[in-house]
Amino acid sequence: MAKQIRTVGVIGLGTMGAGIVEVFARGGLTVIGVESTEEFADRGRGILTRSMDRAVSRGKLDEAGRQEILDRITVTTEMGDLAPADLVVEAVPEVLELKHEVFGRLDGIVAEDAVLASNTSSLSITAIAAPTKHPERVIGVHFFNPAPVMQLVEVIHTLRTDQAVTDAVRDLVTGLGKRPVVVGDRAGFVANYLLFGYLNSALTMVEHGHVSREDLDTAMRVGAGLPMGPLTLMDLVGLDVCHHIGDVIYGHSRSPLHAPSSMLERMVVSGRLGRKSGRGFYSYE
Ligand code: CAA
């Protein structure tokens, strides 16, 4: 198990998936990105090219380098095109049934020694691995948003994950210039478990009228040296994603620290999802 990883498949080309494709391609790997429809495939291509264009306009990449990176990437709507992949990273929406459908099909597509990974931010890797015949090759690789910028990658092993798979993925992540941490399979893993207690406390303060949104964010940005305050961060991650992660963590911890915020729920139901919908705690229109 765990041969050298040269070709990587990424399933789901939303914000996280497209960012992960970029990270692998920049790292010199051949990348096959898969989306369910041509429309979503186009959206994924758009995210990728905009990110590359931004790097060129900031002088971080020249035209030839941009083209070289894009030439390593193929985007397709056929899962069967993943056959040559040494590693497949799933980044489809956080719905266990969807993840099961993907993992159930992968066994019949990739080689027996290919590694199957999920970029889930909170669901159990053990549960996601259930439909595969080879749970020993299943692992979590949790990138942070925005994936091309954030250094941390949580490498999540289950009780069944082969140690050689964990080692190979950790080495791969290091080779991409990222900082891996190896963690066990529990709701929210390490970073989100701790982060979401903090984000939830921020929500409670705003909900109780303790502080304005702007002053809360300023307090943490200026006073604690964070790149952005908690409400701006939730707008970046997506309030629907935050709501989902919070629910999963609370389902396991039952800690009042993670108790669902009714304000967050109301915002999600009314379509205020953060940057991606143009409005969350702040307006981006
Ligand atoms: N995609 C690609 N690159 C991006 C980007 C994006 N979405 N956003 C910013 N960048 C790049 C810029 O191009 C720039 O690159 P260079 O330095 O090479 O020129 C760099 O990031 C800095 O960007 P800006 O100057 O525009 O803005 P900034 O300095 O305010 O940084 C930020 C933006 C990187 C997002 C920074 O504010 C930050 O680090 N915020 C905190 C993000 C964070 O905590 N993420 C974790 C969220 S939790 C999570 O992801 C877990 C989960 O499961 C939900």
Q: What is the ipTM of this complex?
A: 0.93
Separation of CA 108 and ligand 1 centre (Å) = 37
**221-274 pLDDT per residue, tens:** 999 999 999 999 999 999 999 999 999 999 999 999 999 899 999 999 999 999
Phi, psi of 184 (to 5 degrees): -85, 170
Beta strand residue intervals within the chain, DSSP E: 7-11, 30-34, 73-76, 87-90, 115-118, 138-143, 152-157, 179-184
| 121 is known as an active-site residue | yes
Relative to the CA of 237, which ligand 1 atom is closest? 54
In the structure encoding, which two tokens stand for residue 97, read together? 């049934």
Which residue's C-alpha comes closest to atom 5 of ligand 1? 146
Q: What is the pLDDT of residue 285?
A: 85
Beta strand residue intervals within 119-178, DSSP E: 138-143, 152-157
Angstrom distances, CA of residue 98 to CA of 12, 93, 122, 263, 265: 11, 7, 15, 28, 23
What is the DSSP pairing of strand 30-34 with strand 87-90? unpaired
What is the DSSP pairing of strand 152-157 with strand 138-143? antiparallel
Given 119, 124, 192, 200, the catalytic residue: 192
Pocket test for ligand 1, best of 62, 118, 149, 221 (most atoms within 8 A of CB): 149
**Max Cα distance, the chain (Å):** 56
Q: Is the CB of 50 under 6 A from ligand 1?
A: no
Q: Cis bond leading into 135, ω under 30°?
A: no
Q: Is the CB of 230 under 6 A from ligand 1?
A: no
**80-101 pLDDT per residue, tens:** 999 999 999 999 999 999 999 9
Given 154, 243, 258, 277, the catalytic residue: 154
